[in-house]
Amino acid sequence: MIDKVDVLSLNLKELQDFVIDLGEKPFRARQIFKWLHQKGISSFNELTDISKNFRSKLFEKAKLQKAYLVKKFVSVEDNTTKYLFKIENDYIIESVLMKYEYGNAVCISSQAGCAMGCTFCASTVGGLERNLTAGEMLSQVYEIQKDSGERVSNIVIMGSGEPLCNFENSVKFLELINSKDGLEIGHRHITLSTCGIVDKIKELANLKLQITLAISLHAPNNFIRKKIMPIANKYSVDELIFAAKEYADFTKRRVTFEYALIDGINDSEDCARELAERLRGSLSHVNLIPINDVEERNYKRSSDKTVKVFCEILKSLNIEATVRRKLGSDINAACGQLRKRYLKT
Ligand code: SAH
């Protein structure tokens, strides 16, 4: 049996080729593209302006592989909503809607599960289940926009999974979300977060996209990084920071280093000074994140005072640093935490 075509992951040109193969006029492609990407349809039956015959050809040859909303949790503390979606093969993924003054940001997943094994992260506990298609990544945004009734202005690829280990689909997602006949969200409003797959950062730099690259650094040296992030056994901190420098040179975009502060692990004043030393001279910004506690590991969030001191040291050494406002901690809004709890029950 020939696999049905995943039409939600096709760009306009590919969709045109597909409709021509079905014996239809090429202009039909744009019509369908808009239904898929601007209206976010859930069935080909909703394509009311094409013939019944064409619709049945679509049912036969194509599929709508998207994320279907299963459950949502609204935070009582702030305007954060966490969504659980079901995708093909019944995998569960999660996304978050965060409302800021500047607009609505959605945090999407790029994989079901994750293979990276970071010790503080809930997404990786069951390993990698599978890569998401570009369409499954897109539909998280479309469904959240439909559910909230408000426009999504910003996207962070910072949910479950390592986007650079799902490189092709992530790049396709970036192309489609920016498409004129889709939501047309500008790349400057999109952040891609990686644990630091150096080879892939280079590949991404070569594409010269205007997205923001965020690198989950979380440690100032290899010794500490290896204790919390297995990827540090493959790429050293220096290699990673060098790749970030190259990325900034190529794209002229400032790189963000994420640094989750874990009590007693990576939050000492020495760590702050060493980090500043390492980052000196790079076009970058450090985003400090008070970690969400991980009971299994006995990891605790650093105290507010420690976070403040860490931030002050970086700034005094001329490293740009901010502390991320924590949103939705009452609904397990950190990477993979909600999904983990949902699967448990
Ligand atoms: N794989 C990518 C993107 C997914 S993780 C990456 O590593 O960047 C998204 C962010 O959430 C990363 O910075 C990750 O380190 C962070 N994160 C994971 N678990 C966390 C926790 N318990 N508390 C705070 N941040 C966490």
Q: Residue 48's domain is classified under what CATH number?
A: 1.10.150.530
- In this structure, how many other beta carbons lie within 10 angstroms of the beta carbon of residue 207? 12
- Residues 220, 332: one domain? yes
For residues 249 and 270, membership in a common domain is answered with yes
pLDDT digits (tens, 9 = 90+) for 246-276: 999 999 999 999 999 999 999 999 999 999 9
* Domain CATH code at residue 257: 3.20.20.70
CA of 123 to the centre of ligand 1 (A): 9
Residue 338 Cβ < 6 Å to ligand 1:
no
Is the pLDDT at 62 greater than 60, yes or no?
yes
Structural domain tally of the chain?
2
Together in a domain, 9 and 155: no
Segment 171-227, tens digit of pLDDT:
999 999 999 999 999 999 999 999 999 999 999 999 999 999 999 999 999 999 999
The pLDDT of 76-104, averaged and rounded, is 91
Cα distance between residue 116 and residue 340, in whole Å: 16
Domain boundary residue, one of 41, 63, 85: 63
Structure confidence by residue, pLDDT tens digits, 4-45: 999 999 999 999 999 999 999 999 999 999 999 999 999 999
Can you give the pLDDT at residue 295? 78
Last residue of a domain, one of 63, 95, 112: 63
Q: What number is the average pLDDT over the span 144-163?
A: 96
Residues 118 and 262 occupy one common structural domain: yes
Q: Name the pLDDT band for 321 (thresholds 50, 70, 90).
A: very high
Range scoring the smallest mean pLDDT among 54-63, 101-110, 253-262, 288-297: 288-297
Cα 193 to middle of ligand 1, angstroms:
8
Do 190 and 328 lie in a common domain? yes
- Same domain? For 57 and 80 the reply is no
Catalytic residues: 94, 335
Residues 59 and 73 in one domain: no
Q: With a 6 A CB cut-off, is 121 part of the ligand 1 pocket?
A: yes
- 116 in the same domain as 44: no
* Residue from 123, 335, 337 whose mutation best tests the ligand 1 pocket (most atoms within 8 A of CB): 335
> What are phi and psi for residue 232, nearest 5 degrees?
-65, -15
Per DSSP, the three-state class of 112 is: strand
Q: Which of 95-109, 289-303, 314-328 has the highest mean pLDDT?
A: 95-109
137 and 193 part of one domain? yes
Measured in Å, residue 251 CA sits from the centre of ligand 1 at: 24
Q: Do 33 and 115 reside in the same domain of the chain?
A: no
Q: What is the largest CA-CA distance in the chain?
A: 69
Q: pLDDT tier at 328 (50, 70, 90 boundaries)?
A: low
- Computed on alpha carbons and rounded to an integer, the radius of gyration of the chain in Å comes to 21
Quote the pTM value: 0.95
Tell me if 201 CB under 6 Å of ligand 1: no
Q: What is the domain range of residue 135?
A: 68-344
Q: Are residues 126 and 18 in the same domain?
A: no
Q: Which atom of ligand 1 is nearest to the CA of 337?
A: 22
Burial class (CB in 10 A: 0-12, 13-18, 19+), 264: exposed
Answer yes or no: do 78 and 54 share one domain: no
